[in-house]
Amino acid sequence: MQRRLKIGVLYSRVRVEEKWIFGAMEKRGIDYDRLDDRAISFDLEKPEAWQQYDAVLERSISYNSGLYALRLLNAFGVPTVNKASVAEICGDKLMTSAVLARDGVPQPHNVTAFSPEAALEAIEAFGYPVVLKPVVGSWGRLLAKINDRDAAEAVLEHKSTLGSVQHSVFYIQEFIEKPGRDLRIIMIGDKVLTGMYRSSEHWITNTARGGSGELCPITPEIEDICLRASKAVGGGLLGVDLVEHPEKGLVVNEINHTMEFHTMQPVSGIDIAGEIVEYVVRSAMQKSE
Amino acid sequence: MSTVNCPECEAEITFAEGTEAGEIIVCPDCGVDLEVTSIDPAAVQLAPMEQEDWGE
């Protein structure tokens, strides 16, 4: 008789997504533990405590906590969703851009510099307006649309003086005249599950910043670019953000590895939490084979 | 029914059915974010502030 699978779910707070995931676990009779990332610790001499899990689903709200947990779990031989290597890439916009460029996946033009002087030179070469982003960040936080040289000089000085050292990694991206929206596409492994348009009058269209969502039909073009993007970062459960570039067509803006879906699930009518749980179970079963 | 007082404004808050430990609720009086630390006994604390590495 096959041993019952044991799953761990690493979380920081119980958002509606976590409620849905826990509910999906319980509905399927899955033996799972809720693991608060503020309460756990990893003793490198006692990996057995973690090796009891056939898989761990990482739903931490903190990129750092989640990433280090994934690295340690993978080092212990515990399968995780997503893998640490995927989180490392997706959580860092520059690393994501690097692998997209490596694999020829369309993305906005971007340049990176490590000093305000070099960054200003790159910005002037782009022309205005241009966008500055922190390499680690989410929910549309700390994005800057730079409209002229005065603003460029001010923002670069503020970032290098007031920010952590990471803010001196100046990730400069072309400003795209979007048609008032961008796209969020949900991928479950190789399956392009569903997607939505996020509309806003503001140039930042994250729903965390007030953007509204409506269902987006998955075209062959959307499917193709998402599959290529997923492959570039290593696959898994991903929220792929696409932008409709007026000249280049669909481009990948960023890829999220611990996606939220409290808008997408009701908009799409799809049980995304259930799909996530079933993907985690499949990952766990691969370990026990 | 679980009730608790908001640590910020002392308003009485009743947990809605299905409230879980670890959930974030909003005080209906002062609007502050609160984290539910326990259902029984009912307990809340001010929710942690958003950090620079939070997100998806």
Q: What is the pLDDT of residue B34?
A: 96
- Give chain A positions within 8 Å (CB) of B21: 14
Tell me the CATH architecture of domain A6-82+273-288.
Answer: 3-Layer(aba) Sandwich (3.40)
> Under an 8 A CB cutoff, do B56 and A13 touch?
no
> Under an 8 A CB cutoff, do B56 and A259 touch?
yes
| Partners of residue A272 on adjacent β-strands | none
CATH topology for B3-46?
Rubrerythrin, domain 2 (2.20.28)
A8, containing H or E segment: strand A6-11
Work out the percent of chain A whose per-residue pLDDT is above 70. 98
pLDDT over 80 at A1, yes or no: no
Best residue in A9, A61, A238, A253 for a mutation probing chain B (most B CBs within 10 Å): A61
Distance CA A37, CA B30 (A): 28
Q: What is the pLDDT of residue A205?
A: 76
Mean pLDDT of chain A: 94
ipTM summary value: 0.85
**Residue in the structure block whose two tokens are 């990332």:** A37
pLDDT over 60 at A96, yes or no: yes
- Give chain B positions within 8 Å (CB) of A36: 22
Q: CATH homologous superfamily of domain A177-257?
A: ATP-grasp fold, B domain (3.30.470.20)
pTM of this structure:
0.92
> Under an 8 A CB cutoff, do B22 and A62 touch?
no
- Give the pLDDT confidence of A122-136 residue by residue, as tens digits: 999 999 999 999 999
- Give chain A positions within 8 Å (CB) of B23: 13-15, 19
Contact yes or no for B7/B13 (Cβ under 8 A): no
pLDDT over 60 at A238, yes or no: yes
Please tell me which of A195-204, A280-289, B2-11 the model is most confident about, judged by mean pLDDT.
B2-11
Structural domain spans, chain B: 3-46
Could you tell me which residues come within 8 angstroms of residue A252 by beta carbon, excluding any fewer than 6 positions away?
A100, A105, A106, A107, A225, A229, A240, A241, A242
Tell me the CATH architecture of domain A110-174.
Answer: 2-Layer Sandwich (3.30)
Name which residue leads in pLDDT, B49 or A185. A185
Which residue intervals of chain A bear CATH 3.30.1490.20?
A: 110-174
Nearest residue of B to residue A17 by CA position?
A: B23
pLDDT over 60 at A98, yes or no: yes
